[in-house]
Amino acid sequence: MTAALSRRLAAELLGTAFLVATVVGSGVMAETLAGGNMAVALLGNTLATGAILVVLIAMLGPVSGAHFNPAVSLVMMLGREMSARVFLGYLLAQIAGGILGTLMAHAMFDLPLLQISQHVRHGPAQVLSEVVATFGLLATILGCRRSRPEIIPVAVALYVVAGYWFTASTCFANPAVAIARSLSDTFAGIRPVDVPWFILAELAGAVCAAGFSRWLLAPEPATAATPWSGQTDPASKPH
């Protein structure tokens, strides 16, 4: 049974808030403890993000589907699994949750609540990275939904952990997260001027993944048996 829309929106807001609080907060903690070693800081940020994704998807998936990401919700709307009205509600809940998560992280580390990031993330390599990161994320979700839905929490978390390291952008793959991280001048931040390019790249990657997965995962049409399979095609029998 589908949960009431109010509960679904609450789950999306809560999940996105905790996701962003983890990304930003673990970034602050990792940078503080790493002593200038950026690889160690990124590793700490990565592990915390992957861990919280498993928890949040497993916990809130039965309520809202655990999108926590406008790109995921957009693909579900394009697949006619949610209406435009519900998509708009998810979008607003995710953005609000992301901003709340940033404020939570700042408060927990006794930082100024309101910040504007100065962390530069721009250029063709960064944009391409976000296209690839989001394509892979959506392909992971759509593929696992069809064959092994029970492993989605772990599969998504593992993909994001890998994405932190194989993409130049560290795998934002989420417009709501990009917006929220622009409000944090910390390890996880991104300049507001760079956010529109990230969002465009993320939406492009999501739409491409939806189209490709629809073709790739389409059921094979039923075909008549042929002599190659040890059977005779009835249409080939002499009359």
| Cα-based angle 106, 110, 116 (whole degrees, multiple of 5) | 40
- The pLDDT tens digits of the residues spanning 111-140 come to 999 999 999 999 999 999 999 999 999 999
Residue 239 lies in a domain: no
Query: Tell me, what's the pLDDT at 230?
Result: 47
- Encode pLDDT of 20-37 as tens digits: 999 999 999 999 999 999
pLDDT of residue 220: 78
**Closest listed residue to residue 92, CA positions, set 160, 186, 6:** 6
Segment 56-66, tens digit of pLDDT: 999 999 999 99
Closest CA to 140 of 126, 127, 158, 128: 158
So what's the pLDDT on residue 195? 98
pLDDT of residue 221: 76
Does residue 236 lie within any of the structural domains? no
Residue 201 within any structural domain of the chain: yes
Q: Going by C-beta distance under 8 Å and a sequence separation of 6 or more, which residues neighbour residue 199? A: 175, 178, 179
pLDDT confidence of residue 151: 97
Residue 236 scores a pLDDT above 50:
no
Residue among 173, 92, 113 at smallest CA distance from 137: 173
Token match 């795998």: residue?
171
In the chain, pLDDT over 70 holds for what percent of residues? 92
Domain that holds residue 176: 5-217
Count: domains in the chain: 1
Residues ≥6 apart with Cβ < 8 Å to 98: 16, 17, 19, 20, 176, 177, 179, 180
Give the model's pLDDT for residue 1. 59
CATH number of domain containing 45: 1.20.1080.10
Q: Taking all residues of the chain, what is their mean pLDDT, rounded to a whole number?
A: 93
Cα separation, 107 vs 109, whole angstroms: 5
Region 133-161: what's the mean pLDDT?
97
Please report the pLDDT score of residue 237 as a whole number. 47
Residue 231 lies in a domain: no
pLDDT in tens, 65-97: 999 999 999 999 999 999 999 999 999 999 999
Decide if 211 contacts 132 (C-beta within 8 A): no
Is the model's pLDDT at 13 over the cut of 60?
A: yes
Residue 232 falls inside a structural domain: no
pLDDT surpassing 80 at residue 14: yes
Tens digits of per-residue pLDDT, 134-144?
A: 999 999 999 99
- pLDDT, residue 126, reads 98
